[in-house]
């Protein structure tokens, strides 16, 4: 059987054109479907909400950070696709002892493109994956209008923000925002720190924390000089085929 290298530089032996795929990551589930592999997917997480209604047709194997190993065993997968950040290491190690597990590791758009081509290769959909990559790359080959400084919130209590070395940071830059958060990954930020940074834009993501209008109103009182906006977290953090909606979306904010 062919041996492939995933984005963690792991060697993974995978059968040609795997027929029983489990996806442990929502954005990669959507990608698999868009590559024409929906009929081969046998298991997904409870967070795999796209395409709409798709997860109702498949076995739910738990969440992204807690797997139901008994359900996975019943499905007898010949390929499991995960992600370093979204899944938990202990669970992945346990699965990799029994099944081929191909892992992605995404920090920017180039990583996302590499992931799409990699998944296309291991599933026999290289041509479709390259067509998708070419379409997305064409959309991304532009200089965005500079909007101003920004802070992107992913959680409320405590306040957590997207910093450097994240896919979100790369997408903020491509949307025309200057991310004021210089720390890596997802640091906590106090209200005092938030007000002192005084961003032009405070972006409240729809996920993983479901920010709503009431939160916008709360932060508007704290940052009267900032533009507070609710934004679609899937657009900024999903690194699969949902990227094809990015350019049109950012033109609206």
Joined together, the tokens standing for residue 65 give: 């950070």
At 142 the pLDDT is: 80
State how far the Cα of 29 lies from the Cα of 16, in Å rounded to an integer: 19
Average pLDDT, the chain: 96
* Full-model pTM: 0.94
Residue 229: pLDDT above 90? yes
Q: Provide the pLDDT confidence category of residue 70 given band limits of 50, 70 and 90.
A: very high
Residue 253: pLDDT above 80? yes
Q: What is the tens place of the pLDDT at every residue in 153-209?
A: 999 999 999 999 999 999 999 999 999 999 999 999 999 999 999 999 999 999 999
To which CATH superfamily is domain 148-250 assigned? Answer: Nitrogenase molybdenum iron protein domain (3.40.50.1980)
At 1 the pLDDT is: 83
Residue 144: pLDDT above 90? no
Q: Name the segment(s) of the chain with CATH classification 3.40.50.1980.
A: 3-138, 148-250
State how far the Cα of 47 lies from the Cα of 28, in Å rounded to an integer: 11
Strands annotated E in the chain: 3-5, 11-13, 21-23, 41-44, 59-60, 79-83, 101-104, 148-155, 160-161, 177-179, 201-205, 227-231
Residue 143: pLDDT above 90? no
Residue with tokens 């959909």: 125
CATH number of 3-138: 3.40.50.1980
Question: In 16-153, where does DSSP find H-type helix?
Answer: 26-34, 69-75, 89-96, 109-123, 126-140
Q: What is the DSSP letter of 164?
A: B
């Amino acid at each position: 059987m062919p041996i492939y290298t995933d984005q963690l530089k792991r060697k993974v032996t995978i059968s040609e054109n795997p027929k029983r795929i489990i996806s442990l990551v929502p954005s990669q589930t959507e990608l698999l479907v868009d590559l024409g592999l929906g009929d081969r997917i046998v298991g997904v997480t409870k967070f795999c909400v796209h395409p709409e209604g798709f997860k109702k047709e498949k076995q739910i194997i738990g969440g992204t950070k807690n797997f139901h190993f008994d359900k996975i065993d019943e499905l007898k997968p010949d390929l499991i696709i995960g992600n370093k950040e979204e899944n938990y290491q202990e669970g992945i190690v346990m699965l990799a002892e029994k099944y081929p597990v191909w892992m992605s590791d995404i920090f920017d758009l180039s990583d996302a493109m590499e992931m799409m081509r990699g998944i296309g290769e291991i599933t026999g959909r290289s041509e479709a994956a390259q067509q998708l990559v070419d379409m997305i790359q064409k959309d991304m080959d532009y200089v965005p209008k500079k909007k101003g400084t920004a802070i992107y919130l992913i959680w409320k209590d405590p306040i957590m923000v997207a910093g450097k070395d994240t896919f979100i940071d790369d997408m903020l830059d491509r949307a025309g925002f200057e991310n004021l958060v210089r720390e890596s990954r997802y640091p906590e930020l106090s209200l005092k720190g938030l007000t002192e940074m005084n961003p032009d834009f405070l972006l409240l993501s729809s996920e993983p924390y479901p920010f709503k209008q009431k939160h916008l109103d709360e932060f508007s009182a704290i940052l009267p000089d900032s533009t507070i906006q609710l934004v679609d977290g899937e657009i900024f953090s999903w690194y699969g085929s949902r990227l094809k909606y990015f350019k049109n979306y950012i033109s609206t904010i």
